[in-house]
Chain A
Amino acid sequence: MRNLYTSTFGHETRFAACLGALWLTLVVAVPARAQLTQLVHDAIAQKGKPTTTHKPAPTTTHKPAPTTTNKPAPTTTHKPAPAPAPTTKPVEPKKGRPTLKAPTKPAPKPNPDLRGGIYDRPYIYRTEKKGFGFAIGGYTEMLGRYSVIDGVSDGFHFEARRLNLFIYSKLAHFMRLTAEVELAHGTKVTLQTALLDILILPYINVRAGIFLVPIGRFNLSHDAPRYDIIDRPLVATKLIPSTYADVGVGIFGAFRLTSGFTFSYEIYVHNGLGPGVVGGSAEGTRLVEGRTENLFALNPNGSPAISGRLGFRFPFGVELGLSGYTGIYNAYTVKGFTVDGKRRLSIVAFDFIVVWRALTVRGEAAYALISVPESLRELYATRQFGAYVDVSWTFWAGKLWFTKLSKFNIIARGDWIDLNIGKHKTTGQDIGDENLRITVGVAWRPVSQTSIRLAYQQNWLFDAIKNRGRSSAVQLGVATYF
Chain B
Amino acid sequence: MRQAKRLWAALCPTLITVLLGGCLGGAPDAKKSFDAPLEGLTQAQRGAFILGDAAFNRMFTAETGLGPVFNAPSCSSCHVRDGRGHPAFRVTRFGLGDPTSAASFDYLLDLGGPQLQNRAIVGYLPESLPDLPGVVTSSRIAPQLAGLGLIEAIDDTEILSRADPDDLDGDGISGRPNYVVPPPFFVANPTNSTTFDGRYLGRFGWKATGINLVQQVALDYHDNIGITSDRLPTDLTNPIVGPTGGDPAPDPEISAATVQNVAFYLSVLRPPSRRDETDAEVVQGEGLFTQLGCASCHVPELRTSKKAAIELLRDKPVPLYSDLLLHDMGPDLADNYPEGDATGREFRTPPLWGLGIIKSTQGGRAFYLHDGRTSDLREVIKVHGGEAERSRTAFFELSETEKDALIAFLKSL
| Distance of B225 from chain A, by nearest CB (Å) | 9
Let me know if A426 and B120 touch, CB within 8 A. no
Let me know if B14 and A466 touch, CB within 8 A. no
- 23 residue pairs of the A-B complex, CB under 8 angstroms, read A151-B28, A275-B122, A279-B61, A281-B61, A282-B59, A330-B122, A373-B122, A375-B120, A376-B119, A379-B72, A396-B6, A396-B10, A427-B87, A454-B17, A456-B17, A464-B77, A464-B88, A465-B80, A465-B88, A465-B89, A467-B81, A468-B364, A474-B21
Cα A440 to Cα B13 with chains together (Å): 8
Which of the residues B14, B62, B90 comes within 8 Å of A279, measured between beta carbons? B62
Q: Interface digits, B121-163 against A, CB 8 Å rule (1 contact, 0 not)? A: 1110010000000000000000000000000000000000000
A78 — which chain B residues lie within 8 A by C-beta? none
Q: List B70-126 residues whose CB lies under 8 Å from chain A.
A: 72-74, 77, 80-81, 86-90, 118-123, 126
Residue A463 lies at the interface, judged by CB distance under 8 Å to chain B:
yes
In addition to A151-B26, A282-B73, A442-B17, 19 A-B residue pairs with Cβ atoms within 8 Å of each other are A151-B28, A153-B24, A275-B122, A280-B61, A282-B59, A282-B61, A283-B59, A379-B73, A395-B6, A396-B9, A424-B86, A427-B87, A427-B88, A432-B363, A442-B13, A455-B17, A456-B20, A467-B360, A474-B17
B121 — which chain A residues lie within 8 A by C-beta? 279
Q: Interface digits, A453-471 against B, CB 8 Å rule (1 contact, 0 not)? A: 0111010000111111010
Contacts A148-B25, A454-B14, A466-B364 given; does A378 touch B88 at CB 8 Å: yes
Residue B44 lies at the interface, judged by CB distance under 8 Å to chain A:
no
Let me know if A472 and B61 touch, CB within 8 A. no
Among A153, A282, A458, A470, the most chain B Cβ lie within 10 Å of the Cβ of A282
Let me know if B90 and A456 touch, CB within 8 A. no
Residue A163 lies at the interface, judged by CB distance under 8 Å to chain B:
no
Residue of B nearest to A374 (CB): B126
Residue B23 lies at the interface, judged by CB distance under 8 Å to chain A:
yes
Q: List A252-302 residues whose CB lies under 8 Å from chain B.
A: 275, 278-283
Residue A247 lies at the interface, judged by CB distance under 8 Å to chain B:
no
A373 — which chain B residues lie within 8 A by C-beta? 120, 122
Q: How large is the interface on B (under 10, 10 to 19, 20 to 34, 35 or more residues)?
A: 35 or more
Let me know if B361 and A467 touch, CB within 8 A. yes
Which of the residues B60, B119, B360, B363 comes within 8 Å of A375, measured between beta carbons? B119
B360 — which chain A residues lie within 8 A by C-beta? 467
Cα A8 to Cα B81 with chains together (Å): 44
Residue A211 lies at the interface, judged by CB distance under 8 Å to chain B:
no
Let me know if A440 and B17 touch, CB within 8 A. yes
Let me know if A426 and B26 touch, CB within 8 A. no
Which of the residues B16, B25, B62, B367 comes within 8 Å of A151, measured between beta carbons? B25
Cα A427 to Cα B139 with chains together (Å): 14
Residue A199 lies at the interface, judged by CB distance under 8 Å to chain B:
no
Let me know if B25 and A472 touch, CB within 8 A. yes
Residue A251 lies at the interface, judged by CB distance under 8 Å to chain B:
no
| Distance of A228 from chain B, by nearest CB (Å) | 11
Cα A426 to Cα B360 with chains together (Å): 19
Q: Which 7 A-B pairs have the closest CB atoms?
A: A282-B59, A282-B73, A151-B27, A375-B126, A474-B21, A466-B363, A465-B363
A440 — which chain B residues lie within 8 A by C-beta? 13, 16-17, 20
- Chain B interface (Cβ within 8 Å of chain A)? 6, 9-10, 13-14, 16-18, 20-21, 23-28, 59-62, 66, 72-74, 77, 80-81, 86-90, 118-123, 126, 360-365, 367, 372
| Distance of A130 from chain B, by nearest CB (Å) | 49
Which of the residues B10, B77, B120, B361 comes within 8 Å of A408, measured between beta carbons? B10
B81 — which chain A residues lie within 8 A by C-beta? 467
Cα A6 to Cα B155 with chains together (Å): 59
A467 — which chain B residues lie within 8 A by C-beta? 80-81, 360-364
Residue A441 lies at the interface, judged by CB distance under 8 Å to chain B:
yes
| Distance of A284 from chain B, by nearest CB (Å) | 9
| Distance of B117 from chain A, by nearest CB (Å) | 10
| Distance of A294 from chain B, by nearest CB (Å) | 15
Among B13, B61, B126, B364, the most chain A Cβ lie within 10 Å of the Cβ of B13
Residue A340 lies at the interface, judged by CB distance under 8 Å to chain B:
yes
Which of the residues B24, B62, B126, B364 comes within 8 Å of A472, measured between beta carbons? B24
Let me know if B88 and A424 touch, CB within 8 A. yes
Let me know if A282 and B74 touch, CB within 8 A. yes
Residue total for A at the interface (Cβ-Cβ under 8 A) = 50
| Distance of B146 from chain A, by nearest CB (Å) | 15
Residue A19 lies at the interface, judged by CB distance under 8 Å to chain B:
no
Residue of B nearest to A411 (CB): B13
Cα A249 to Cα B367 with chains together (Å): 54
Cα A404 to Cα B123 with chains together (Å): 62
A410 — which chain B residues lie within 8 A by C-beta? 13
Residue A152 lies at the interface, judged by CB distance under 8 Å to chain B:
yes
Let me know if B27 and A152 touch, CB within 8 A. yes
Cα A424 to Cα B122 with chains together (Å): 21
A463 — which chain B residues lie within 8 A by C-beta? 80
Residue A42 lies at the interface, judged by CB distance under 8 Å to chain B:
no
Residue A159 lies at the interface, judged by CB distance under 8 Å to chain B:
no
Cα A275 to Cα B121 with chains together (Å): 12
| Distance of B65 from chain A, by nearest CB (Å) | 11
Q: Interface digits, A401-438 against B, CB 8 Å rule (1 contact, 0 not)? A: 00000001010000000000000111101011000000
Cα A283 to Cα B25 with chains together (Å): 25
| Distance of A437 from chain B, by nearest CB (Å) | 13
| Distance of B287 from chain A, by nearest CB (Å) | 34
B13 — which chain A residues lie within 8 A by C-beta? 395, 410, 440-442
Which of the residues B25, B74, B361 comes within 8 Å of A470, measured between beta carbons? B25
Cα A432 to Cα B86 with chains together (Å): 13
Cα A468 to Cα B23 with chains together (Å): 18
Q: List A361-407 residues whose CB lies under 8 Å from chain B.
A: 373, 375-376, 378-379, 395-396
A464 — which chain B residues lie within 8 A by C-beta? 77, 88
Cα A375 to Cα B89 with chains together (Å): 13
Contacts A282-B60, A375-B126, A429-B363 given; does A395 touch B24 at CB 8 Å: no
| Distance of B25 from chain A, by nearest CB (Å) | 5
Cα A426 to Cα B91 with chains together (Å): 12
Cα A458 to Cα B90 with chains together (Å): 33
Cα A378 to Cα B26 with chains together (Å): 33
B17 — which chain A residues lie within 8 A by C-beta? 440-442, 454-456, 474
A468 — which chain B residues lie within 8 A by C-beta? 364
Cα A394 to Cα B24 with chains together (Å): 27
| Distance of A290 from chain B, by nearest CB (Å) | 13
Residue A150 lies at the interface, judged by CB distance under 8 Å to chain B:
yes
Residue A27 lies at the interface, judged by CB distance under 8 Å to chain B:
no
A91 — which chain B residues lie within 8 A by C-beta? none
Residue A339 lies at the interface, judged by CB distance under 8 Å to chain B:
yes
Cα A146 to Cα B24 with chains together (Å): 9
Cα A281 to Cα B60 with chains together (Å): 8
A153 — which chain B residues lie within 8 A by C-beta? 24
Cα A456 to Cα B13 with chains together (Å): 11
Let me know if A278 and B16 touch, CB within 8 A. no
Let me know if A340 and B122 touch, CB within 8 A. yes
Residue of B nearest to A341 (CB): B123
A456 — which chain B residues lie within 8 A by C-beta? 17-18, 20-21
Cα A432 to Cα B10 with chains together (Å): 39
| Distance of A382 from chain B, by nearest CB (Å) | 14
Let me know if A426 and B87 touch, CB within 8 A. yes
Q: List A69-85 residues whose CB lies under 8 Å from chain B.
A: none
Cα A465 to Cα B87 with chains together (Å): 9
Among A150, A330, A375, A456, the most chain B Cβ lie within 10 Å of the Cβ of A375
Residue of A nearest to B375 (CB): A427
Cα A340 to Cα B10 with chains together (Å): 59
| Distance of A110 from chain B, by nearest CB (Å) | 38
Cα A150 to Cα B24 with chains together (Å): 9
Among B20, B74, B87, B367, the most chain A Cβ lie within 10 Å of the Cβ of B20
A427 — which chain B residues lie within 8 A by C-beta? 86-88, 367
Residue of B nearest to A475 (CB): B21
